[in-house]
Amino acid sequence: MHSPRLKRFQPLLVGTKIPENIGSFARLLENFEVAEASLVAPNCEWREGVAQWMATGTSKERLNSIPVHDSLGRAIADCQFVVGFTARAGKNRRMSIRLEDIADQLQGKVALVFGREDFCLLTEEVELCTHLCALDSSPDFPALNLSHSVAVVLSDLYRQEGDSRRGHLTYASTEEMAPAFEHLRSMMIEVGLNRDGNPERMLGRLKKIFQRAGLTRDDLGLLRGLFARVMAEVEALRRAP
């Protein structure tokens, strides 16, 4: 069998409440040659009944073997980018990438996160996303069915990957970036940013900038070297007479 076209994209359904959507999801994974996919804390019974009826052929095998995670953080640990799909806008839910740009701009393993049928993604789940994306639809009736949203996204990425002739760099995963963010936090405290303003808010914004930039492992090493040097210089200044 040939290599799946969507081998670097990992669709995730979070807190799904309607079993039909999970059955349809399994079918879409086969339709668009998706190598990896997971469920995150599903809130319905999908191992029997109508979900099984929605999946057919090899997609039924896929449905019965799909990995399940208890949290989004664990599901995305090995991904370099995390794209959350949401129709809800707000101060902390600003769209940062278009669907048609995902394959070209995000060159690494990409999680595609789809939230609940009613409440979409929770605030803490949005915080784990490096990018947010909204699908184009009528302003008079913008909400798409969950499985339909997945179909739109996977169909477009299937086309994009077929057209792609890019080389691939080795990008740092979210798990690999976490220690660098802690190092950044330490540096900010060392230079006094904990005394004025809101350092946690600033750190959150800086994290989003670095996440959108798509850092390689070499980039992380360079930044951590910078953080360490700044901290050493500040300490030297403190000791100076």
To the nearest whole number, what is the mean pLDDT of the chain? 89
pLDDT tens for residues 113-169?
999 999 889 999 999 999 999 999 898 888 899 999 999 999 999 998 876 545 556
pLDDT tens for residues 45-76?
999 899 999 988 899 999 999 999 999 999 99
Same fold, 9-163 and 174-239: no
Third-level CATH fold of 174-239: Helicase, Ruva Protein; domain 3 (1.10.8)
Length of the chain: 241
Domain ranges for the chain: 9-163, 174-239
pLDDT at 74: 96
CA 75 to chain centre: 9
- pTM as predicted: 0.73
Name the CATH code of domain 9-163 (choices 1.25.40.10, 3.20.20.80, 3.40.1280.10, 3.10.129.10): 3.40.1280.10
